[in-house]
Structure 1
Amino acid sequence: MKKLIPFGILIIVVILALLFPAANLTPTKVPFDKADTAWLLISTALVLLMTPGLAFFYGGMVSKKNVISTMLQSFVCMGLITIIWVVFGFSLAFGTDVGGLGLIGNPKSFFMMQNTLGVAWGSIPVILFAMFQLKFAVITPALITGAFAERIRFNSYLIFIALFSIFIYTPLAHATWHADGLFYKMGVLDFAGGTVVHMSAGWAALASALYLKKRYAAEAPHTPARISYVILGTGLLWFGWFGFNAGSALGSTELAATALATTTTASAAAAMAWIFFDVLRGKKPSALGACIGAVVGLVAITPAAGFVTVSSSLIIGIVSAVVSNLVVIWRSKTSIDDTLDVFPCHGVGGMMGMLLTGIFATKSVNSAGTDGLFYGDTSLFGKHLVALVAVSVFAFFGSLLLLKLTDLISPLRVTPEEELIGLDVSQHDEEL
């Protein structure tokens, strides 16, 4: 019976779609900018590529008996989260604000993608903006999977990511990016998802690692299945991240070009900083270290990409790589079994990016932003500190609650026997 639960959830979503009509919004007939629309179409495709890239990135790090399971956990998000987003997720994130609190949108605003034809979001069609933002919603729960890799039941995983997307991701997206959102009105700057995507995933990852506890064989020497997969995944992530960050300018503009430049600069700086820091610690430079460093740089620059100069992005990449590396070292000395160090890389990387945005943001790059601490204004940094604490508490404890709820519905952990033979066989009856 428990195996039918995810299918039952899908049926409930379809029934809701049939029962509740969308809100009747009046279309705004405006000419769309063709260049902006073309760039966002490309960016949307680029961001989608990040999820398969993440699958290779994570899949190459786990043991050979868990590669397929780990990669599928990323791929399946493209299916399940898309359905949720199309039905009511986009409305919750970007629909008309409910209650004036700036925390959630009206689920009827764009229910089942109605009220999207002929409606503009800036200079692009609202349906395109919805599909662009969908790719952010897809990759966020996929990021969490590295924390509980090799020990979670697939059916239970589907329930958890559905709950996370609805109750953690959409409120954060609304609060941060909607014009009536709580953080948006506070003046918090998050260009492409440092808080919404990476901090939420990072804290959920830490909650997951603590809740599911250690793998039964966590103390045994671990050999990554395919370092070549990790390199391939890093390349796909880096390539797709240009859509992630430069696409968030929502237009074919100089700001998009600046975001592209800061993105690749921060990633390059972080990759080299990670390698050099390892060498200073007496380790050999490794492909794995270079790849992890590059991704940490991409994570850290995400909230800052359209608000800082290229020279500042160098500092952001270097500082974030060193701090994340130190947190990885700390984590390895604890009993926390964050399998692929999602919290040290994505959670800490996102927090570093948010704080450094509060330091290095400048209106000379983006007039819609605010000058940061480095340019003499202390208010932005203070706002980012407040938002950092609020998001951390909400994402961590909210995820713990959802993990407990999921566990009550369907047990999260595989049995010792299932973990021993590997999730590829025990969960999917497939082998690499």
Structure 2
Amino acid sequence: MLTPLPTAVPRLLDVVLDCRRYPDGDMAYAASLLDSLDASELAQLRRTTTLSHVARAPAFRCVSCNGPLLVRTDSVRSCRELGGRRARFYHARNSRAVGCLFNTEEGMTPDAINARQFEGRQEGVRHEALKKGLVDALYRDVEVISVAAEQPVIADRRFRRPDVLAMLASGDRIAFEVQLASPQMATIVGRAQFYADARVALLWVMDKTQLDASLPLQGFQDVYWPQGGAVFAIDDEALAESKCAGALRLHQVTVTQIDNRLEWSSELVGLDAVRTFLGLDVPDRHPSIAVDPLARVMLDALARGDSRAAGAAFTLLVQSCGADLSWHDAQQDGFDRIVPVLVTLLTGRKAAPSGYANDAAAAILNSALEAPSLRDWSRVVAVVGNSTVEAAGRMARRSTWSKVSRNLRVIGRAPQRADALEQRWRPVLRRLFPQLPD
């Protein structure tokens, strides 16, 4: 077990503005925000602050220059600590830090850090061997119809070359990233954003022989804790089992924090477990609703009533759409409430906490249509309702259609807010409901 240091790491920024509830922020001590966090909570906070910064709605700002702040950690080895006592706030690169009394900005970009980390080498011998073995294992699997290494994936005039790209018989695509060096947070967020935008599932794969050394590294913690403490790994045993079975076999690793130490266990699993992990086996998947991991995280959080988790996913989702919107905007406009209603309209099932039964679609729709704060979304409801035969049937019920018609007449007399909502949220709605017309 690690023995914690008697004090937290030195922090130049010991007081910050916490802007998670209010844009202007509340003053808070860094120690009160960070010291009590366990390893999982620390990784979640690091990701949330990064996503918020990318979305130009920083979660934390400097009390002196008002510039955006991110969360950095000292190593577990040097601090003998897994949780937030080894974390500190620092100025985001290219922020207002220049000239700030508390400037903590570091000059290296994520790309420069990666270049130094890999010393100019894109891949090592071990990485190449594991990647080749993964291609061979997927090639033998009857559920895989195509597989290639370094095949470009293109999305919105950008492209990436995942280590391995596989197309399943279901039509789903999975990008396998074999990661042997601890990744930067910018890399993690960037890949998640890109593949979500490209409608490709992303699976991080570690080297099982190096787990004891790799799992404590913050970059890997930033991968597996937001995934519920789960990650996949590959080694010679998995490759041998894949060859014997004629199908993909990977180690599914589960990590837990016990006091101040990490423990992990693993089991060999096949492609079915990978599909389940990525949400590709969801039985009620609907063709009109996005099912990539990022969209699922947001929709699942809304279904649970977890506003914080929904907001964290939302910040990355809107960035992938090129939209300049915040979670505060979503709550002000009622976007966070209308999206579950649209899901209910398409699926016939409850998609947010309420007193209604799971299959009480008509009651849920009617309640939303009666709400004055959601009335200006009625044109969107009508468009979604006409996008499938099943949704049209639900909307055509007399009690529902009478409310839709009434709201449309009201909007026709004063369309300004409805027009603004539709223009503002069209990219995000198209992202969540890909079959909507342009």
| TM-score, with structure 1 as normaliser | 0.26
Query: Taking CA–CA contacts closer than 8 Å with sequence separation of 6 or more, which of the two structures ends up with the larger relative contact order?
Result: 1
| TM-score, with structure 2 as normaliser | 0.25
Q: Which has the higher helix share?
A: 1
Q: Which has the higher strand share?
A: 2
Query: Which structure would you say has the larger Rg?
Result: 2
